[in-house]
Amino acid sequence: MTEPGRFFEDFTVGQTIRHATPRTVTTGDQALYMALYGSRFALQSSDTFAHAIGYPRSPLDDLLVFNLVFGKTVPDISLNAVANLGYASTRFVKAAFPGDTLTAASEVIGLKETASGKTGIVYVSSRGFNQDGDTVLEFIRWVMVKKRDEAAPAPGPVVPELPPEVTPDQLGRAVLPLYMHGWEGAQSGSRRRWHDYQPGERIDHVDGATVEESEHMMATRLYQNPARVHFNQHAEAQGRFGRRIVYGGHVISLARALSFNGLANAFHISAINAGRHVAPLFAGGTVYAWSEVVAAAELPNRADIGALRLVTTATVDRVCEDFPGRDGDGFAEGVILELDYWVLLPR
């Protein structure tokens, strides 16, 4: 008897689902993350840099944590998903370190049958925990899930209110007070700090990264995310696109790594307000990215760090020197990702 995954009828509002496979994350996982994305942010690369600014050691990359926790939710939430519709309110609330063991649970916070009667939208609030039971990460996502039986009655719709952004007073919780005399620009790769960026600035991250099948599959397996569309060419050859689809979290991690060029001191993603996978990515495509600073915010009681709200847009096979993005009701040709998030920088 195999695990078929949940269908729309299997969810009820208020239900809490504890997800399988706890995972001890190690320096081995960090090394793979480095090899897959080439990230160069100093804090996640160096224990000595981390010590110098007040961390006990180099923390895990934020998106490694996100992708691991997300991966755990897949077998229970989205194995029968037709579409991942969105994310909101992703907050990184506690740093995670090599040796920590991550687990995950989700609460169903909304359900709404779609007009066709064949599917329904499931809203969940998911959390990742460390071995002490502390929340390290939380996010809301909503997915369109198949019904097992189209004739089954659906519950009355419950649609949660989704905040458009994580407000600045909620940011920075994963970051202990830092010793800013320890932050060396020669080590981090840039002398530009928080106050050197202004809303409206646009940054072309210049470089492009071509994605190979083995890379996105290794990444997605590292995250123990078993979503079938990423791994099975034999089945996907008969599917909608004729080929494997790259996991969306791989695109986000690529865009973040590319953003080092221009945002080298953006040492921590504190929150993701919203993420939208505009178009699928396939192996062989080359990913580029650019970012716009849309807001800057001070954090309560923090003289050491400040926040920038960024919208990073990733494209495939299209350079970003002309900043392609929203275009009328849609997006410019080549855009695959729009990510609205808060990063922290030293002041």
Q: How far is the CB of 272 from its own copies (least distance, A)?
A: 23
Going 46 to 60 to 252 to 91, the CA torsion angle's sign is negative
Looking at beta carbons only, is 196 or 327 nearer to its own copies?
A: 196
Residue 107, judged by CB atoms within 10 A of its CB (0-12, 13-18, 19+), counts as middle
Q: How big is the site for its own copies, counted in residues (CB under 8 A)?
A: 79
Beta-carbon count within 10 A of 88 CB: 22
Residue 279 sits in the site that holds its own copies (CB under 8 A): no
**CA 77, 83, 89, 90 torsion-angle sign:** positive
DSSP of 50-82:
HHHHT-SSPPPPHHHHHHHHHHHHHHHHTTTEE
Q: How far is the CB of 291 from its own copies (least distance, A)?
A: 10
Q: Which is nearer to its own copies, 208 or 346 (CB)?
A: 208
Q: How many CB atoms lie within 10 A of CB 51?
A: 14
- Does residue 222 bind its own copies (CB under 8 A)? yes
What are the beta bridge partners of residue 229? Answer: none
Closer CB to its own copies, 15 or 261, in the complex = 261
Q: Which of 8, 42, 308, 345 binds its own copies (CB under 8 A)?
A: 42
294 binds its own copies (CB under 8 A): no
Residues 179-218 contacting its own copies, CB under 8 A: 186-190, 192, 201, 203-210, 212-215, 217-218
Print the binding letters for residues 146-185 with its own copies: x by CB under 8 A, - otherwise. ----------------------------------------
Nearest of 52, 49, 51, 84 to residue 70 by alpha carbon: 84
Residue 86 or 98 with smaller CB distance to its own copies: 98
- Between residue 43 and residue 82, which ones bind its own copies under the rule CB under 8 A? 45-49, 58, 75
Applying CB under 8 A, among 24, 56, 159, 279 the residue interacting with its own copies is 24
Determine the distance from the C-alpha atom of residue 128 to the mean position of all C-alpha atoms in its chain, rounded to a whole number: 13
* CB nearer to its own copies: pick between 59 and 110: 59
Q: Give the residue, chosen from 6, 30, 95, 144, that forms a contact with its own copies under the rule CB under 8 A.
A: 30
Going from the C-alpha of 73 to that of each of 18, 21, 141, 191, 221, the distances in angstroms are 9, 10, 10, 39, 14
136 binds its own copies (CB under 8 A): no
Smallest separation (angstroms) from its own copies to the CB of 117 = 26
Phi-psi map region of 224: left, alpha, beta (phi>0 left; psi -120 to 50 alpha):
left
| 12 is a contact residue toward its own copies (CB under 8 A) | no
> In angstroms, how far apart are the furthest CA atoms of the chain?
65
Instruction: Fill in the per-residue mask, 229 to 268: x = in contact with its own copies (CB under 8 A), - = not in contact.
Output: --xxxxx--------x----------------xx-x----
Q: In this chain, which of 131, 148, 159, 242 binds its own copies, going by CB under 8 A?
A: 131
Cα–Cα dist 128/70, whole Å: 8
CB 341 within 8 A of CB 272: yes
